Amino acid sequence: MSMKKMHESASQRQGELTHFDQAGQAHMVDVGAKNETHRIAVASGTIRMKPETLAIIQSGTAKKGDVLGIARIAAIMAAKRTSDLIPLCHPLALTRVAVDFSIDASASSVTCTAQVETYGKTGVEMEALTAVQVGLLTVYDMCKAVDRGMVMMDVRVMEKHGGKSGDWVA
């Protein structure tokens, strides 16, 4: 296939999957012709647990240490390594990764929210989603000795800004 045809087949068409060429082969999307813009993505997800587990997290008495502090660092590290984990993701120079955890005592849950930013040619939704999922996995890892029944749920992109498609809010 010629380079021109490869570029044409890699261009995004509304409603089509972009990581496959016309022959159905997986490829990394060509973003070379795209404009660099400020890109922002926000994702969130929740982990539900026993009230006793949540109490341990809140009191800071988990055997492995500060659960949410360590989960925050893990989430930030994960955002930075997304292209190493997801085969067709572009490696990006992130300009900001902010991770927050909120506790809902009535639902016995912790919600992780990640905001990821870059100035580039492709979005950061995958980095935000990866940060959230690894943050929740870290909470699970640190608390599994007392609660193996924790459930991670509702991991999703909440909003994205920048790029040709503009803004999107869930």
Distances, alpha carbon 117 to alpha carbons 33, 45, 66, 112, 125, in Å: 20, 18, 26, 17, 9
Choose the catalytic residue: 141, 147, 154, 167: 141
Return the residue matching tokens 């005592």.
105
Q: Which residues contact 132 (CB under 8 A, 6 or more apart)?
A: 43, 44, 45, 75, 112, 113, 114, 155
Give the C-alpha distances (Å, rounded to integers) separating 71 from 114, 122, 132, 142. Answer: 12, 26, 9, 9
The pair phi, psi for residue 168, each rounded to 5°, is -145, 130
Known catalytic residue at 141 = yes
Q: Which residues are catalytic?
A: 141
